[in-house]
Structure 1
Amino acid sequence: MGPGYILRPTAEGGLHITSADPDAPLTITPNHYGSDHDRTVGTALFRRMRQLFETEPIADRITAETLPGRGVRDDQDIIDAGLDQGRCGYHAIGTCAMGPDEDDVVDGRLRVRGIEGLRVVDCSVMPTMVSGNLNAPIMAMAWRAADPVLGTV
């Protein structure tokens, strides 16, 4: 069965610094299916994908479901299979989200608060996930960020 993704997950994961050593590994907690919303949408998505693959003309081209297998039926089995056998298509965002408050890492001009001359122009500044690929939004962000960096605004 092909991949399907929850485009607007509500569960949040986290990155945690483990040491003052910059080469020390981070603790990464993805927290997939960590909210009722994500579990409900994820299981409904899985069932809908199964339904689509059982419909002609594609059904004629499929011999059998290999993963997770026809024995996976109830919600918890679907979630467990997704966590054990699935893969993530999400891009990390929001680890230094921009916002108007002094507690937000980056301001609306992508400047890191408290560090002169440092800007962040990547998906980590996005405060919310977009429903789709991040390529175009980050290109637009970079285009907008170029003007103040070049001093044209």
Structure 2
Amino acid sequence: MRFSSCDLCDAHEDLLVLGTLQVLPPVFQSYGQSRAFCGPAVTLKVFEDNVLVRAALEQPGQGRVLVVDGGGSLRCGMVGGNLAKLAETNRWSGIIVFGCVRDAEELNACGIGLRALAVHPRRSARKGVGETGVNATIAGVMVRPGDWIYADADGVLVSQERLS
């Protein structure tokens, strides 16, 4: 699907006013070869622990976007090269991490899109603590399971419905 976040905002100003379409704050860095991606959200709430991230990416992505509420932590990478490759293999459209990623060179070689706050070389814990399929707060914006994510060079949109 080809889209422009700017055009979507222009065409759906009414939804922006209602709050059913929101724009994530411009705090994210872009990684991966796919600079634009979209799809329904699969949500996780974890903190410095990526076991549930791996478990999600091991499932068929079916063009969905994994949204990881990592609490904005800047202390470890939640997604690295191996997980990005797994996401690509399992046909995820993209990943948004409210936290850090690692292995930037490997991420940029993968054919999916990623957004994260920064890179960090330290790996996360592996305890399996967190929640799946819950409302996630990403940089102050609520993302519900099934919300539509639209990410391109101009920004990231969160919509409660699919936009045309």
How does the TM-score come out when normalised to structure 2? 0.24
More helix by share: 1
Structure number having the greater strand percentage: 2
Choose 1 or 2 for highest CA Rg: 1
Indicate the structure whose relative CO is greater, using CA pairs within 8 Å and at least 6 residues apart: 2
TM-score by length of 1: 0.26
